[in-house]
Structures are given as structure tokens and as C-alpha cells.
Amino acid sequence: MQPNVTLAPPPPPVPAEPCAGRRGTPRQRVWAACQPLAWIGPAIVLIFSVVLVPVVLMFRTAFHDIDAVGFDRGFVGWANFEALLREPSLAAVVTRTAVWVVVVVTATMVCSLLLAQLFNQRFPGRRVARWALIAPWAASVFMTAVVFRWMLDPRSGLINIFLHDIGVLPELGTAQADWLGRPSAALWWMIGVAVFVSIPFTTYAILAGLQAIPADVYEAAVLDGASPWRTYRSITLPLLRPALLVAVLINIMNVFNSFPIIWAMTAGGPGDQTATTTIFMYQLKSSSIAESAALSVVNFGIVIVLVVLFLKAAGGRSQVQS
């Protein structure tokens, strides 16, 4: 039996041999300090080269004047950020991004809570249903988005033909049928696709949370005569908190940074009227890579702020580990 398992070094050497102890201990200490490096070294190198170096380069680009063919004309201070702020559509893009993130994440969470509850019940075909849910997750997001774009084709799209057949759409090939050509309609279709591809991960995260709730808590609730709704509110939801926080956090970051859906379906068009900040960043790249980098820096800041706010709201503890 080992009552006390710690990583602390063994007790100090015998006092009768002070010299030998002093010679050995520092080397051992250095060795002990270096030892973890062997294990975390590759990870540090990886993080440094694929995360930190690009971040540094991004900041550097944002403060440089880069011309149309990619030549660096040196440091220009905040000029790229000033140019960014002068973009007439910036306010609309930022507002749209907020709507996009809030609506997609909320809708995803609500749908996933319901689905996870369903999948936590025993019913015939549950295994098949659970597998089926993986499909939108397993398929490439870009591919899913392209498929939806073709299904929404104004003349021959599957969805449009269906809407025409059931009488919702009076005529094919009209402006009304061109959902993705009208910014207001396009945004809602893309929100739909974003929810569709976000649901599997979220549902599985919540399902895992549900399965981790001990059965005896529910037994106690039954003995106390709690109603199913009361049980859900007072037991399931609070105990799901860690899973929900992880799901919301990851979804916010994913949806905020989401590129393929909008790019494949409208490329942010017409103009930049369906662009989020991520898409707008890419659109800016065609005219000014430095201004685009300035927006990347802003986006990067927003994500960091979101994460910090969220962790604060989650009670200061890092819930991501659970």
C-alpha cells in the first residue's frame, strides 16, 4: 500500500556526507527539471511553429505596407487598421457576425439538447439513429455547403423543386427562387446549414454529459416525488453544466471562425452582404493583404475576449478539462 504518492524527490541525503550530497543534488535537480522537456518538447515545438509563429507573422503583416504583388514596403503603424475602420461595410459585417454566432449557437444548443435527450432513451433502432447523426459531422463541411448550394439552385435545385411542388414557390428561376442571391434569405439558409453541421458534435458532447449523470440521483428524485420537468431543471441541467459549457465554448469559436459554409454558398456576396468578419477578412485579401491581416488581428482579439469572458462566466474554473 502506498498511502502517499507524490512526485517530490526522495528525502535529502545523509548528513554525514555533505559534499557528496551537494555534488549530486543540483545535477539531479537540473536533471529532474529537464526531464519533462523530453516529453513536452515536441508539443512545445509544434505549438511554437504552427501557432505562435503564424500569430507573430499576422501581427507583423498587420503593421506593414504590403503592395498588390506582395512586396513589403515597411512598417506603417496603424494605417491598415485605419483603412479597415474606413471600410463602409464594416459595421454591417460586425453586426451580421454577432447575429450569425448568437443564432447558430443558440439554435444548435436547443436542437442538440432535445436530440441528446432522445438519444439517451432506449428505443428500437437507437444505434442506427446515433450512427446516422454522425453523417453531417463526418462529411466535409465544404462539401455539405456545396450540396446545399446546388439544392438551392434557382432553376433546378432540389429544395426549390420541392417548394415549387408543394406550392410555396410560385415559379422556378425567379428572384424569389434565387435564395442565395438575396442577402437576407441567403443568411438564413446558411444559418440553417451551420446548425445542421454543428448539431452532431454538440449532441454527442451533451449525450456524454447525460450518460455521466449517476442514476442514483434520479432514483432519489423519483423517491422525493419530483416531476419529470422538475427533475430535468434541477438535476439534469445543473449536472450537464460542464458538458454544456464545453459545447457552447467550442461552438462559439467554430461558428465565429466558420469559413467554408459561407464561402461555398455565397462567397460573402452579393458584395459583402452575407460576409461575416472571417469572410470579410478573406475578401479584403484580394485588395490588401495587410488590411486583411489587420482584420485577422481584430478577429483574433475577439476570440480571445470571448473565451476569457466565457471562462469568467463559467465561474473562474477551467471547465474545459471536464
Partner 1 sequence: MKRRLGAALAAAAASALLITACGSADEGSDGSIVLKLVGADYGTGPEDSTAKYWQGIADAFHAQNPSITVEVSTINWTDYDTKVKTQLQNKDYPDILQGVFYPQYATNGLVAPLSEVMSNPRAGTAVFNEAFSVNGVQYAAPFTTSARAMFYNKKAFADVGLTQPPATWAELETAARALKAKGYIGYALPLGPEEAQAESTLWMLGNGGGWQTDGQYTIDSPQNVQTFGFLKNLVSAGLTQPNPATYDRTANASADFAAGKVGMALSGPFLTATIASAGKLGKSDFATAPIPGRTAPVQQTLGVADAVQAFKTTDAAKGEAIKKFLDFALADEHQLAFAEQYALLPGTQSALDSLKDDPVLGTFAQLLPQTVQFPSDEKWTATVLPAVKKNIGLAVIEDPARVLGDLQAKATAGR
Judged by the rule CB under 8 A, the positions of this chain that interact with partner 1 are: 34-35, 38, 41-42, 45, 65, 67-71, 79, 83, 86, 88, 154, 174-175, 178, 180-182, 266-267, 269-273, 283, 286-288
Hey, what's the cell of 287? Answer: 485588395
Compute the distance between CA of residue 13 and CA of residue 6 in angstroms, rounded to an integer.
Answer: 18
**Nearest approach, Cβ of residue 270 and partner 1 (Å):** 3
- For the CB of residue 71, give the shortest distance to partner 1 in the complex, in Å: 5
Contact 109, 115 (CB under 8 A): no
Least separation in angstroms between CB 150 and partner 1 = 13
Least distance to partner 1, CB of residue 105, Å: 27
Nearest distance in Å: CB 77, partner 1: 12
Q: Which residue lies nearer to partner 1 by CB, 89 or 231? A: 89
**CB-wise, 68 or 128, nearer to partner 1?**
68
Name the CA dihedral angle for 303, 307, 313, 317, rounded to a multiple of 10 degrees: -170
For partner 1, the closer of residues 71 and 229 by Cβ is 71
Three-state DSSP string of the chain: CCCCCCCCCCCCCCCCCHHHHHHHHHHHHHHHHHHHHHHHHHHHHHHHHHHHHHHHHHHHHHCEEECCCCCEEEECCCHHHHHHHHCCCHHHHHHHHHHHHHHHHHHHHHHHHHHHHHHCCCCCCHHHHHHHHHHHHHCCHHHHHHHHHHHCCCCCCHHHHHHHHCCCCCCCCCCCCCHHHCHHHHHHHHHHHHHHHHHHHHHHHHHHHHHCCCHHHHHHHHHCCCCHHHHHHHHHHHHHHHHHHHHHHHHHHHHHCCCHHHHHHCCCCCCCCCCCHHHHHHHHHCCCHHHHHHHHHHHHHHHHHHHHHHHHHCCCCCHHHC
Q: How far is the CB of 15 from partner 1 (least distance, A)?
A: 27
Minimum distance from CB of 68 to partner 1 (Å)? 3
Residue 45 or residue 168: which is nearer to partner 1 going by CB?
45
Q: Which is nearer to partner 1, 27 or 312 (CB)?
A: 27
Q: Which is nearer to partner 1, 25 or 65 (CB)?
A: 65
Q: Cβ of residue 208: shortest distance to partner 1, in angstroms?
A: 34
- The three cell numbers of residue 190 are 446558411
Identity of the residue, 67 or 219, whose beta carbon is nearer to partner 1 in the bound complex = 67
Nearer to partner 1, 197 or 290 (CB): 290
